[in-house]
Amino acid sequence: MRAVIRGIGSFLPADIMTNEDLSKRVETSDEWIQERTGIRQRHIASEGQYTSDLGYEAAKRALDDAGISAADIDLIIVATSTPDLTFPSTATIIQEKLEMHHGAAFDVQAVCSGFIYGMHVANSLIRSGGAKRILLIGAETFSRILDWTDRGTCVLFGDGAGAVVLEGVEAEEAGVLQTFIRSDGRHRDMLYVDGGPSRTQTVGHLRMLGNQVFKHAVTDIAQVIRDCAEQAGVAVADIDWFVPHQANQRILTAVAKRLKLRPEQVISTVAYHANTSAASVPLAMDCAVKDGRIKRGDLVMIEAFGGGFTWGAALLRY
């Protein structure tokens, strides 16, 4: 059994916040943000629009793209660190919105690496026969956990959602070829949220030592891609498309350079979406599928790095 991506979709809230808008809130400039991150704008969820709403819209688009309905899905996995509520899971809320009253749904929490972790779980379940069709969604409203007075973090993130329908098919070499996940809790203080139900009974705000995270990200991402490709028995040079987590254009460029990938092989949406955490990889991949760059049969490497630290990669034949 192989887990093949049968459909893909994404959704961005309508409201756009530009760098210029941000410069009216904190001491920053369009020039600084673009030069240091590549970000020009980000989408922000409107009042009353929740992570489950973004995830639901992306899910519907992925189901439409696959030509199936929620009735054909047996499991929903939502990767998010900004759930609607502490519980129930955002996955069960989306399940209800989809009027899906069978199967199961749960959340995965690995911050920006959530979609890769979710794919690792989904791939394992499909390959072992534990599920036939899985709706894997990355959905976030990071705007709700930002400290809008901290220019070092509030300029970096945006809201959005992306989803894929993974289906088990009997094939030799198709779909997800390899997944590889890592974490190291020693670095948890470099990127975290300073609130939570058990410790503070608050939601808290995102805190980050940006330049420290940057250094770890470049090194660890390059290594995990090499490890993932090696386990799959594939040379990095054979990868057609690189769909990285969209945190910072400088990280994307540095990783691509280390792996000797050409700039035109790198799918970059960071300028328009900023960092949407667990939603960033499926959002970027959907853009490249819809604009015709990623085609059926292409070899695609996806990766992410985030709080924990968590990081990982997945290699797939689209």
In whole angstroms, what is the distance from residue 106 CA to residue 77 CA? 5
Q: Is residue 113 close enough to count as binding ligand UT7 by CB under 6 A?
A: no
Looking at the Cβ atoms of 206 and 236, the one nearer to ligand UT7 is 206
- Residue pair 141/82 in contact (Cβ under 8 Å)? The answer is yes
Count of positions (residues) in the chain: 318
Q: Is residue 219 close enough to count as binding ligand UT7 by CB under 6 A?
A: no
Which of 163, 213, 274, 316 touches ligand UT7 (CB under 6 A)? 213
Looking at the Cβ atoms of 5 and 256, the one nearer to ligand UT7 is 256
In whole angstroms, what is the distance from residue 39 CA to residue 310 CA? 23
Q: How far is the CB of 192 from ligand UT7 (least distance, A)?
A: 11
**What track of x and - describes contact with ligand UT7 for positions 15 through 54 (by CB under 6 A)?**
-------------x---xx--xx-----------------
Q: How far is the CB of 158 from ligand UT7 (least distance, A)?
A: 11
Annotated catalytic residue within 43, 187, 205, 245: 245
Q: Is residue 275 close enough to count as binding ligand UT7 by CB under 6 A?
A: yes
In whole angstroms, what is the distance from residue 85 CA to residue 51 CA? 10
Does 275 participate in catalysis according to the annotation? Answer: yes
Sign of CA dihedral 65, 67, 71, 74: negative
Which of 11, 142, 214, 318 touches ligand UT7 (CB under 6 A)? 214
Q: Is residue 82 close enough to count as binding ligand UT7 by CB under 6 A?
A: no
Q: How many CB atoms lie within 10 A of CB 185?
A: 9
Q: Which residue has the tokens 């700039």?
A: 263
In whole angstroms, what is the distance from residue 122 CA to residue 55 CA? 17
Which of 14, 24, 211, 292 touches ligand UT7 (CB under 6 A)? 211
Number of residues in contact with ligand UT7 under rule CB under 6 A: 21
Q: How far is the CB of 148 from ligand UT7 (least distance, A)?
A: 12
Q: Is residue 151 close enough to count as binding ligand UT7 by CB under 6 A?
A: yes
Looking at the Cβ atoms of 151 and 290, the one nearer to ligand UT7 is 151
- Residue pair 304/311 in contact (Cβ under 8 Å)? The answer is yes
Q: Where are the alpha helices (DSSP H) in 102-196?
A: 114-128, 151-154
Report the relative pairing of strands 41-43 and 104-108 from DSSP bridges.
unpaired
How far is the CA of 300 from the CAs of 92, 177, 179, 308, in angstroms? 30, 10, 12, 25
Site residues (vs ligand UT7, CB under 6 A): 28, 32-33, 36-37, 112, 151-152, 155-156, 210-211, 213-214, 217, 247-248, 251, 275, 305-306
